[in-house]
C-alpha cells in the first residue's frame, strides 16, 4: 500500500516535467515571449523606454547650427532636435508611444504565431518520419521476399 502511494505520488510529481519535455525549449521560449509582449503593462513600459531613448537624442542642441540652415526652416539659436520635431508634429510624443506600443503588441502576436507554427511543423515532421519509416520497412519486407 505504501509503495503504491509513493509510486502514485512520484508519478503525479513527474507528469508535468515529462509533459514539458515534449515541447522544445525554443517553442516554450517563443510562447513565453508572446505572452510577455502581449501584456499591456510591458507594452507601455517598452514604449516608455523608447520614449526616454528618443528624448535623450532629441535633447541635442542644434541651435548653434541655425545660421547654416535655410531661414525658411526657422531653426532658432536655442532649438534642440526635439523642438524642431515637435514644432513640425505636435503629437510626436503621443504618436511615438502609440506606435511603439503597437509594434510591441505586433511582435507578441508574431512570437505567438511562430510558437504555434513550431508545434505544427514538428507534428508534420513526425508524420513524415512515420510515412518514411513505413515505406522503408515495407521496402525491406519486399526485398526479403524477393530473395
Q: Does position 81 have pLDDT exceeding 80, yes or no?
A: yes
* DSSP calls for 76-133: -TT-BHHHHHHHH-TTHHHHHHHHHHHHHHHHHHHHHHHHHHHHHHHHHHHHHHHHHH
Q: Kindly indicate the confidence band of residue 25, based on its pLDDT and cuts at 50, 70 and 90.
A: confident
The pLDDT of 49-77, averaged and rounded, is: 93
**Residue 137's pLDDT is what?**
87
Residues found in the chain: 147
pLDDT above 70 as % of the chain: 78
Map residue 22 onto helix, strand or coil.
Answer: coil
Mean pLDDT of 115-141: 89
Per-residue model confidence (pLDDT) at position 147: 59
Other C-beta atoms within 10 Å of 84: how many?
Answer: 18
Give mean pLDDT, residues 92-111: 95
| Average pLDDT, integer, range 82-89 | 95
Arithmetic mean of pLDDT, 6-33: 56
- Average pLDDT of 96-125? 93
Over 80: is that where the pLDDT of 141 sits?
no
User: Across all residues in the chain, what is the average pLDDT?
Assistant: 83
Output the CA torsion 82→88→91→95 (10° steps): -80
pLDDT per position as a tens digit, 28-43: 888 899 999 999 999 9
Amino acid at each position: 500500500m505504501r509503495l503504491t502511494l509513493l509510486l502514485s505520488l512520484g508519478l503525479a510529481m513527474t507528469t508535468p516535467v515529462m509533459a514539458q519535455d515534449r515541447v522544445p525549449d525554443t517553442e516554450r521560449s517563443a510562447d513565453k515571449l508572446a505572452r510577455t509582449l502581449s501584456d499591456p503593462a510591458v507594452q507601455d513600459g517598452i514604449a516608455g523606454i523608447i520614449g526616454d531613448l528618443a528624448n535623450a537624442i532629441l535633447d541635442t542642441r542644434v541651435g548653434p547650427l541655425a545660421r547654416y540652415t535655410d531661414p525658411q526652416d526657422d531653426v532658432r539659436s536655442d532649438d534642440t532636435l526635439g523642438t524642431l520635431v515637435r514644432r513640425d508634429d505636435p503629437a510626436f510624443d503621443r504618436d511615438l508611444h502609440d506606435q511603439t506600443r503597437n509594434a510591441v503588441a505586433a511582435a507578441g502576436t508574431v512570437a505567438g504565431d511562430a510558437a504555434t507554427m513550431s508545434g505544427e511543423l514538428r507534428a508534420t515532421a513526425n508524420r513524415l518520419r512515420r510515412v518514411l519509416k513505413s515505406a522503408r520497412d515495407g521496402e525491406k519486407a519486399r526485398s526479403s521476399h524477393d530473395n
